[in-house]
Every structure is written in structure tokens, then in C-alpha cells.
Amino acid sequence: MPSLDVSFFLTIALVAVRLYGAFNGILSDCDEVYNYWEPLNFLTRFFGKKTWEYQPEYAIRSWTYLLPYALLKYPLSWIQKSLEISGALSKGAIPAYTFFYLTRVALALSFTFAECCLADALTYISSELSSWFLLYQIISPGVFQASISLLPSSFALLFGMLSTASIVKYFRFDLFSHKIERDFISESKVIEDSTEPSIPDTNNEATPPSKASPSQGLSSPQMFLCAMYKGSLSRRDKFFALAVGSAAIGGLIGWPFALVLTAPFVVYVTISLLIVKKLPEPLAAINRRKWSIFIYFLAGLSCTYMVGWIGCLIDGLFYLKSTLVPLNIVLYNVLRTTKETGPSIFGVEPTGYYLLNLFLNFHVIFLMVLVDIPGIGSSDFKMGFWQGLAAYRAPLYIWFAIFFSQPHKEERFMYPVYHLITISAAVFTCKFIRIFGTPDKRRFFYHLARLAFFSVTVALGVLRIISVIQNYGAPLSAFKALAAQPPVHPDNSTILENVCIGREWYHYPSSFFLQSNQRLRYVENGFRGMLPGDFVEPSIHSLDGLRNSTYLDQEGFNNKNEYNPDFVYPNLDSCDYYIDINMPVDSESGEVSIFEKDGSSSNGNWQTIRCENMIDPDRSYGLAKLIYLPTTEIQYFKSFLANLLQNKNVVAIKGSPLYQKLTDRETYKLLLDSKPVKKLSEPETYKPLFENEQVQKLYTESMARVFEVDSKYQLAAKLPGKVFYHKFCVARRI
């Protein structure tokens, strides 16, 4: 199949998977909800939960980052009003969570665009490499989640892919310019050895030396090479500016730590320009190295300054003071950490945390990266060793070195290098498959190896993605049912309804799943850290009203993760809805529950309106906890196979003489007996072993454990592990 067809189908699959993730993907991080979805709800609907990071005193979250997403409310409101005016929909028929999914679609499509740009750039190195990169992007559970996350680290990943694409294209034209230099020198030697005269000068008068053109006296091929050389340098400079600009946007608007990923490329370019290399005079006049260094420095400084200045200006409007949020983030996380403040107060993890997490998010793809680490000295197809090191290898290893050494670890910290992981794995795959053959030599083994890689990676990726959605998708489904409930006070829709949540506060999917007259409240849940408070709701729903709220230093917030009882309701008396799981509560810590094991309400004042299955991670174990095991599909296949074997046509075929002859052992007796195999399974060989009393006792006990499982669950008992579920329920006061 031509590579164009493969790329086309992979692109279609990429778009389909990203859109599927936008509508079905989970919210894996409560920081994403409370630090980004809630402030976005405040920008668009003028209410929401507020974390201490948005206090002007600390100002370590950027409003600049959220503003582009807030603009999506205008096309949605126009569509909604048009449908209401036309009579196609009644007022309020479009739920508020429509904006949530619209934003996710925008995130997914933007992410897909960046992936396609990077895949297109990688075709310069190898079309096969580009195809493997796209495939690994499609079936990686980690990329599946990062592509729809409203997180600065995901934003940094998006612009990191654009930056890497520009870096690859920079090297494309840089290497091309070096090839032109070699060709120009070769052409000059040919002219020197030739007896043919140069192109005659048609001017009658000699040109003064001071006004001589650099192309004077050059042959036609040399003039053509000079023109190509000038064009390649111009394109190279363009992609340098795009690489630095994309990195600046991803770092200064998204996550500042992602700027370190561009450092190896900048160092490489600086060193390559400083290295003195004598060029022929016409080329030296075109490629002035000192001027290039100045232009590059000016371009990089301008990109960084402009992006930082715009961010500082917008954030200053909301915080009512001049502040540089990226600098505040670095100061809080690195330079001003103490025992009482800093990221470590939110938990520390061992070094193996990221290894396990990356294995779950990339399965065998991450193993390829680990295996490929010793191959750091090898060149990568059309890209040389130093270029490959600057483009994706060095940034990946620097990132690992920095964040593996940090005590506080979170999954989203690895987002900015996800594309570098898939590139590295794709390079390893291309090299490893070529051990078995090439498209021209030993084609069968080459395609067999490709099929094996494709089958294993796709199967593991799909099973992991299905497992995550099935096990953790309950909050989104349950809160959709809450959004569809009729008002508690139908006569007066302005009365606020309290939606209370207990132990599952960190699985809250955002206020986009609440109606405009509903507010989230916390009840006692045993948690003794810093819970979010509420933004001061502006009296005027306008930009000025928002700014009058965001610059307020509200009381009760702290950066020490200290518990504030003022943010928690003492009981359920003031609650109209309640969300919790049907698990035993710790009454000593004040936890309350109204749900039975089956999800029904144990309190006559409450009525369960929706329950969804959610994994119980403490009881679940084994492989079944990590990936989806298709036991139901296997049972369906067995039933289908049994029905197929009972089909009259199949029965007729099995009864035919030809089938009997093909399945008769005597037909193959000559072949089987031609190479007699020594029988190693004679009973006398193992008789002393089975007569041993300890062996017999161990065998009896193990078989008893196997068969003591109820026949209904024999299939599940044979699988490596099992998943247990509890109920994630929503109840309404009656």
C-alpha cells in the first residue's frame, strides 16, 4: 500500500479518535477542574469555585491562558438564540455542559492540527517514521487523555509539537544548505579543471571593482546554486523563528518549565553558527554568520518579550497589578519552597512513579524508548546524530532527569514530552523492523514484523483506553443526569439550589454540569486539606464585573494546604442534591452517607436519581485493573462459533468424505512418522515425583483453590485479576 494511502487513513483515524475522546474521555485530574474548568465557568457564566492560586497575593494561574477558550461562548450563544427565535428549541433547551464539550472539541481539533504538522515534518526524515508516529499518537492512552485536557502542560505539549515540527524543518533546510555548499565547491573545481571559458561579459565597459556583483564571473549552475542557497537560508531562518515563537507561547502562556525543551536546539544553532567554516566568496556574502547570530538572537528575544508582555498585560487587568505569572510559578515551585509551602506539601512519590505511569500511558511504546536509550549515538535516517540529539533526544532525557528527581510527581508533568516519546519509539520501530528485512529484500519477514508491532501496540492501547473510560467515566454520566433534573423551586428559578458533594469532591466534573441557579457545596468528608472556595459573583455580568471580582483578596485562602472549615457545610440540612459513593463511611471523621450497597437511598428524605459503576481501586487487582479484558466478547464469540458449527451447511461440510480425509490422522501418518520424536512424557519418568507426599499435598491444595470458585465465575477466575465496582450516585431531596 502506498505511503500516501497509509497517511491518509491514519489521519482519518486520528481525527476520529480525538473527537471520540472529546465526548467520552474522563477528567483524570481534579487540578484541571478546579484550576481551569471552574475559572472558565466563572468567565462565561459568572460563578464557580476558586482555588488559592487565583488569589492576587499569589497569582500563579494565568487568566491569559483561559481567555481564548472563553471566546467560544459567543458562537454558541448565537446558535442558541437563533434556534430559540426560529422555534426549533425552547429557551434553555441546550444544557450548559454543551460549552464543556465544545471546548473539548476545540482542544481535540487543535491538538490534531499540531500532530499533523509534526507528522508532515517527519516525512522529510522518513515516511515510514511519520506513519509510526501517527499510529503511536492514536493508540497511546496518555496522548488520548492529554489531547482533551484543559491544562497548561497539555497546551505546552500542543505548541511543543509545533516547535518540534519547525525544528525538523529547520534542519531540513540547514542540511540542504550544506549540500549546496558542497555542490558549489565541486562545481568550482570542475570549472577550474575545464578549458571552457566563463560566461562572457556582455558589457563593453569593465565594471569597477567596488561595484562588482557577487555573481559576476559565475557559471549558470553556480548562479542557480546561489539562488537556491539564498532561498534555503531564508526558509531556515523562518523555521527558527517559528520554533522559538511556538516554544515561547507554550511556555509563557502555558507552562514555563516547557521552555527547557527548546534549549538543546538553541545551543546547537548557536554553536553551529560560531564554528568558523570558510565558504566560497559568493556563498559567504549570502551567509553572513555574525549577522545570522544577531538576527536569531533578536528574533528569539522578540518572541519571548512579546508573548510575555501580552500575558503580563492581560493578567495585570484581572489581578489589578503588574505580575508575571510564569515567574511566579517558577518562584513558588523552585526558588521559594519551604517545609510549609511548595509543591511537596501536596504529596511526594518515589522515583518509580513516573516509570509505572509512563508504562500505563504508553505500554510497550515506552519500553521501546527505554531500549533505545543506549542507541543515542546512532544517526536517524536523513537526520544526523547531532540534529536528532537537539530535536528530540536531548530534550526528552533532560526532562526525565529534571522531573524524576523532583519529590512531588504528577502525571500531567510528563505531558510536554509525550510527542518526543512517540518520536523516539517510532525511530526505534523503524530501525528494529529493518533487522528483519526491507520493502525490497526479505519482504515477507519485513511485513510480518510490521504486523506484529501494529497488532500488539493497537491491542494494548485500545484495551487500556476502554478500561479507563469504563472504570472512571461515572462522574460525567451522573452529573449529566443532574443537569436534566427539573428545578426544586419551579415557581422561582432565582432561588439557589445547593448541590452537595462528599468524599468524591475530587471527581467533580466542573460547574458546567450545573444549572445557572445551582451551586456546588462541600459537606464533611474527612479531608483536611485546602478545599476550593467560591469566586465573588459579580453583580454586573460584564468584563468589568469579572475584573471587580478577580482582583479581590478574599479571606480564608492559604498556600499551606491548611483546612478551612468555613468552606464546608456541617450537615445535609441545606442541601437539595447530594453526590457520594455507596461505600462505608468513617463516622468519627464526620463523613455522612445516604446510599445503600445497591445505590438506593437509606434516608426517606432522599431519592436516588442516578447511579453509575465506578472502579473500586482498593479491591481491584491484577491485569484486569489495568486494561479491559474482553470476557463478554469472548463469550459472544464462543456462542457464535457454537451456533456456526450447528449450521446445516457446516454440518454437511463436516460430513463430507473430503473433510473426513483431511482431518484423518492416517492421512498424515507418513509425514508424522518420518521424523520420530522421542517421547518424554512416559509415566515412569515422573512416577517418583508424583509419589512424593509433599508434591501430592501441594497439587491437591492448588486444585481445590481452582475449583472452589462458583461455576458462574469460572471464566473470570482464570483471568489475571478482577475489577470490583462501587456506585457513584446522585440523590435529590424529596
Average pLDDT over residues 679-688: 49
Q: What are 173-184's pLDDT values in tens digits?
A: 988 888 888 888
pLDDT band at 491 (very low <50, low <70, confident <90, very high): low
HSE-up of residue 269 (Cα within 13 Å, Cβ side)? 26
Spatial distance between the Cα atoms of 262 and 260, rounded to a whole number of angstroms = 5
- Give residue-wise pLDDT tens across range 626-651: 999 888 888 888 888 888 888 888 88
Check: CB of residue 369 under 8 Å from CB of residue 395. Answer: no
Domain encompassing residue 702: 678-718
List, in order, residues 6 or more apart from 378 with CB less than 8 Å away: 385, 431
Q: Which residues contact 449 (CB under 8 A, 6 or more apart)?
A: 432, 433, 435, 436, 437
Residue 85 falls within a domain, yes or no? yes
pLDDT confidence of residue 222: 80
pLDDT at residue 83 greater than cutoff 60? yes
Residue 391: Cβ-neighbour burial (10 angstroms; 0-12, 13-18, 19+): buried
Give CA angle at 686 (684, 688), nearest 5°.
Answer: 90
Q: Based on C-alpha coordinates, what's the Rg of the chain?
A: 33
Q: Is 238 or 33 the better-scoring residue by pLDDT? A: 33
- Render 262-317 in DSSP notation, one character per residue: GHHHHHHHHHHHHS-----HHHHHH--HHHHHHHHHHHHHHHHHHHHHHHHHHHHH
Mean pLDDT to the nearest integer, 433-443: 79
| Single-letter code of the amino acid located at 719 | L
- Nearby residues of 153 by Cβ (< 8 Å), 6 or more positions away: 146, 254, 255, 258, 412, 413, 415, 416
Could you tell me the pLDDT band of residue 701, with boundaries at 50, 70 and 90?
low
**Which of 18-32, 198-212, 272-286, 710-724 is modeled with the greatest confidence?**
18-32
Highest mean pLDDT among 61-75, 180-194, 226-240: 61-75
Q: Looking at the domain assignment, is residue 650 inside a domain?
A: no
The answer to whether residue 576 sits within a structural domain is: no
- Model pLDDT, residue 328: 93
Q: What is the pLDDT of residue 648?
A: 81
Last-in-domain residue among 409, 438, 472:
472
Task: Give yes or no for residue 712 having a pLDDT over 70.
Answer: no
Q: How many domains does the chain have?
A: 2
- Please give the DSSP secondary-structure letter assigned to residue 731: E
Q: What is the mean pLDDT of residues 496-504?
A: 93
Position 486 scores a pLDDT of 87
Compute the average pLDDT of residues 398-423. Answer: 95
Indicate the pLDDT class of residue 682, thresholds 50, 70 and 90.
very low
**pLDDT at res. 207:** 46
Check residue 719 and give its pLDDT.
58
Q: What is the rounded average pLDDT of the residues 66-79?
A: 92
| Residue 689 within a domain | yes
Is the pLDDT assigned to residue 260 strictly greater than 90? yes
End-to-end CA distance of the chain: 63
Whole-number pLDDT of residue 661:
75
Stretch 135-144: mean pLDDT, rounded?
Answer: 96
Of residues 269 and 301, more confidently modeled: 269
Q: Which of 472, 500, 527 is the last residue of a domain?
A: 472
Looking at residue 710, its pLDDT comes to: 45
Phi, psi (degrees; rounded to nearest 5) at 405:
-85, -10
- Establish if 273 belongs to a structural domain: no
Residue 713 near residue 489 (C-beta atoms within 8 A): no
Q: Is 213 helix (H, G, I), strand (E, B) or coil?
A: coil
- Name the domain boundary from 472, 504, 536: 472
**pLDDT score of 123:** 92
Mean pLDDT computed over 443-452: 87
- pLDDT bracket for residue 1 (50, 70, 90): very low
Query: Percent of the chain scored above 90 by pLDDT?
Result: 50
Model confidence, pTM? 0.86
